[in-house]
Amino acid sequence: MQIAAFRTDTLAAVGGHADRCRNRPSQSCVGWPLSNTVGSCSSGTVARVSEFVADRGDDFLWLEDLDGADTGAWVRDRNRETIAAFAGGDSFEGLKFEIRQVLDAADRIPYPEWCGDGFYYDFWRDAAHPRGLWRRTTLDEYRRPDPAWDVLVDVDALATEEGENWVWTEVTVLRPGHHRCLISLSRGGGDAVVVREFDLVRRAFVHGGFALSEAKSDVGWIDADHVYVGTDFGPGSMTSSGYPRIVKRWRRGTPLSQAPVVYEGRDDDVHVRAWHDPTPGFERDFVVRSVDFYRCEAYLRTGDGDLVRVPVPEDAWWDVHRQWLLIRLRSAWTVDEVNYPAGALLVSDFDGFVAGLRKLTVLFEPDRHTALQDWDWTRNHLILTLLRDVHCQLEVLTPVEDDWRREPLPGVPALDNSSIVTTDPDLGDAYLLASSGFLQPPVLRLGQVGGVVETLKQQPSSFDTTGMSVRQFFATSADGTQVPYFVVRKSDARTGPVLLTGYGGFEGSQLPRYDGVVGRAWLARGGAYVVANIRGGGEYGPDWHRAAVRERRPRAFEDFAAVAADLVARGLTTPDQLGIEGWSNGGLLMGAMLTRYPTLFGAVVAGVPLLDMRRYHRLLAGASWIAEYGDPDSGADWAFLRGYSPYHNVRAGRPYPPVLFITSTGDDRVHPGHARKMAALLGRHGYDVSYYENVEGGHGAAADNEQHAFNEALVYEFLWRKLSIQTPLRAGSRSQPPP
């Protein structure tokens, strides 16, 4: 619940984080918030129109006005057109109803978190609780088919009581003690949050407790009476990326304005934060200055308030657990004439390392097929999640004298995707393991390192998989690189409709896992589903990502085009029946596909996309992604950005396929102006363009399951029609909507 150490992969863009196998965001994707409690830009980071002389030729600059009268009228007109074209009639309502069934299903697995007090905590949404319940139960209850949950916060009731459109964001529980927590809520689902202290014993918000007004904030416990906090303290307190530039140590009962400053970063930094590790016997405080999206300066904060540099490479991920320091390299590193490659995982004694000793042990080293995806600590062991040609493998490592013993993690089923849901190093060596595949519903297991593994939950199938299969192929990209992709389809299907998705950025991996919405709304209706593991992602480690950053971004586009061409060459589809979909950074990918490879596809869906690469860094959190894309203010960088920026490469008279843009007025990470301006420009040239903008929902474009279901139904209805599929427009499920 509370981060005990800094890992810069909390900066990474993780497509479809937590609940989907696609790259559609659930409060994630481009510029995943720098911690779980930060996100939106503050006032002052909106577009500074006058600063760009080059933008004088942008006829649609006015559409960046977030909620002006003219832009509001334009959005309403476009929404009406799209709803009239695709969202009317029984077919759409039936599809939406079935998707909503999947999202609200009572037999979904509630994935819990542990926070050191022995309870299983869970946040749950269903038809009766669209905004959700934060609740907890015991292990014995959780084992039951229908556990009894102790509801701590009913967000629907709270929203009604306070007259606010509250959307749950996250919670940070005090360790040790576990009697207080800090709850973050957003208005409408954006990244900006309010923070309130909650008493877990009294089950009530604490009157006069720690509280922050709406802002992009980062806050965490030091002890019961102190927190570290970064927020909007007023003019000059936020970076140009819209994240906290100043962090303070705040004592209970004192004004926030009087809290002493712990650290100040620079205006052009991405973010500054501090946190406390309360592990008994290993209590430490840290400060991190994020110089850009991938580089940071890390400091150990002493009891006197002095800062001692933790001398890890600036672009490395690092983590502390008890006496150990983990370092996962993004670039090669030479220490005492020993070269450690990018993607390697190293371990050292933390105190010795800070004191100058460089005794490093290699825990993992990548090869051509295998990369480190993640790691999780139990009290006495380290669990590694590896990807071998995009198939998950888990290993458990145990320190033994001066070495580490390595063995497979027991109880991992032979499915394509397995991951650790949660561990609790405060209590012991237990872990929760989730496993699934494209056609295998999730299974949740409780394991004990060195002990038994039991199945706690098995989710029923959301769609009929009879006759379906999953195959992995490799396409050859323009430079000869082999690019893996998965195809899910009926085994005996002939050439037909295919939905291809990808992401290709921020070292985010697209993994094979179960998605009931894809299954019911697409696969069960006869469509094939394809996930492309293109460069820019993390499927093969840092080098796979670095191959498509900045001036090398077109490599991701070439990879995606190669997969599309390979599908056609294998006879799995035709260009007219190949639809593509991507969200956030994946929306940028879709824009590039539209303008660079229009003849490869029959329809395009781009959700919450980046499209104007001339101004992205001037809009909301865009400045934080300069390390990924480049700086448009630099002539050299703009030269390569201009070469692929979708908004700047729209041309008249091209064979562009139909395109649907979906975004949100409340997206305070990727500005809706990207999608608005692109839709308007395409419309001016007479192209087939559809546009829908939800009022709320933040970067996920939906604040609840009803909005989520509407967006999903809109996507599939659009694709089904535009790909000229003659099959009756019905989902492949068991139920029909009520009259």
Q: Which of 70-84, 482-496, 699-713, 716-730 has the lowest mean pLDDT?
A: 716-730
Cα pseudo-dihedral 451, 350, 290, 344, rounded to 10: -60
Q: pLDDT tier at 55 (50, 70, 90 boundaries)?
A: low
Q: Is the residue at 301 inside a domain?
A: no
Check whether residue 329 and residue 447 sit in a common domain: no
Nearest to 586 by CA among 727, 415, 451, 701: 701
Q: What is the C-alpha to C-alpha distance for residues 429 and 443, in angstroms, rounded to an integer?
A: 20
Nearest to 697 by CA among 738, 674, 669, 723: 669
Asked which of 461, 492, 520 is the last residue of a domain, the reply is: 461
The structural domain count of the chain equals 3
Q: Is the residue at 48 inside a domain?
A: no
Q: What is the C-alpha to C-alpha distance for residues 17 and 670, in angstroms, rounded to an integer?
A: 17
pLDDT above 90: residue 695: yes
**What is the per-residue pLDDT across 726-739, written as a single tens digit (0 to 9) for each?**
443 333 333 333 33
Check whether residue 389 and residue 534 sit in a common domain: no
- Residue 525 phi/psi, 5-degree rounding, is -95, 0
Q: pLDDT tier at 409 (50, 70, 90 boundaries)?
A: very high
SS3 709: helix
Residues identified as active-site: 584, 699
Q: What percent of the chain shows pLDDT beyond 70? A: 90
The residue that leads in pLDDT, 551 or 725, is: 551
pLDDT above 50: residue 591: yes
Check whether residue 519 and residue 589 sit in a common domain: yes
Q: What is the mean pLDDT of residues 461-482?
A: 97
Check whether residue 400 and residue 468 sit in a common domain: no
Asked which of 366, 397, 430 is the last residue of a domain, the reply is: 366
Check whether residue 351 and residue 474 sit in a common domain: no
Check whether residue 321 and residue 385 sit in a common domain: no
CA count, 13 A, side-chain hemisphere, 439: 19
SS3 90: helix
Q: Is the residue at 231 inside a domain?
A: no
pLDDT above 70: residue 2: no
Check whether residue 428 and residue 336 sit in a common domain: no
Q: Is the residue at 198 inside a domain?
A: no
pLDDT above 70: residue 7: no
Q: What is the mean pLDDT of residues 436-442?
A: 97
Q: Domain range holding 535?
A: 69-101+462-722
Strand partners, 484: 474
Tell me how many degrees the CA angle 309-310-314 measures, rounded to the nearest 5: 100
CA count, 13 A, side-chain hemisphere, 2: 29
Q: What is the pLDDT of residue 20?
A: 27
* Ramachandran assignment for 322, one of left (phi > 0), alpha (psi -120 to 50 degrees), beta (any other): left
Dig out the tokens for 712 from the structure.
Answer: 């999903």
Check whether residue 583 and residue 564 sit in a common domain: yes
* Domain CATH number, residue 717: 3.40.50.1820
pLDDT above 70: residue 636: yes
Q: Are 731 and 521 in contact (CB under 8 A)?
A: yes
**What is the per-residue pLDDT across 288-318, written as a single tens digit (0 to 9) for each?**
999 999 999 999 999 999 999 999 999 999 9
Q: Tell me the pLDDT of the chain averaged across its residues.
A: 90
Q: Residues, the chain, total? A: 739
**What is the per-residue pLDDT across 485-513, written as a single tens digit (0 to 9) for each?**
999 999 887 777 999 999 999 999 999 99
The residue that leads in pLDDT, 24 or 184, is: 184
**Host H or E run for residue 361:** strand 361-364
pLDDT above 90: residue 482: yes
Asked which of 441, 461, 481 is the last residue of a domain, the reply is: 461
Q: What is the mean pLDDT of residues 4-30?
A: 30
- Cα 473 from chain centroid (whole Å): 26
pLDDT above 80: residue 33: no
Q: What is the pLDDT of residue 307?
A: 97
**What is the per-residue pLDDT across 319-357, written as a single tens digit (0 to 9) for each?**
999 999 999 999 999 999 999 999 999 999 999 999 999
- Cα 693 from chain centroid (whole Å): 20
Q: What is the pLDDT of residue 115?
A: 87
Q: What is the mean pLDDT of residues 211-219?
A: 97
pLDDT above 90: residue 14: no
Q: pLDDT tier at 725 (50, 70, 90 boundaries)?
A: low
Q: What is the mean pLDDT of residues 90-111?
A: 96
Q: Is the residue at 426 inside a domain?
A: yes
Check whether residue 560 and residue 690 sit in a common domain: yes
**Host H or E run for residue 383:** strand 382-388
Check whether residue 452 and residue 470 sit in a common domain: no
- Residue 634 phi/psi, 5-degree rounding, is -90, 125
Q: What percent of the chain shows pLDDT beyond 90? A: 87
> The dihedral of CA 641, 642, 643, 646: what is its sign?
positive
Q: Is the residue at 251 inside a domain?
A: no
Check whether residue 647 and residue 549 sit in a common domain: yes
Q: What is the mean pLDDT of residues 547-561?
A: 98
Q: Which of 141-150, 658-667, 690-699, 725-734 has the lowest mean pLDDT?
A: 725-734
CA count, 13 A, side-chain hemisphere, 265: 31
Q: Is the residue at 213 inside a domain?
A: no
Check whether residue 671 and residue 717 sit in a common domain: yes
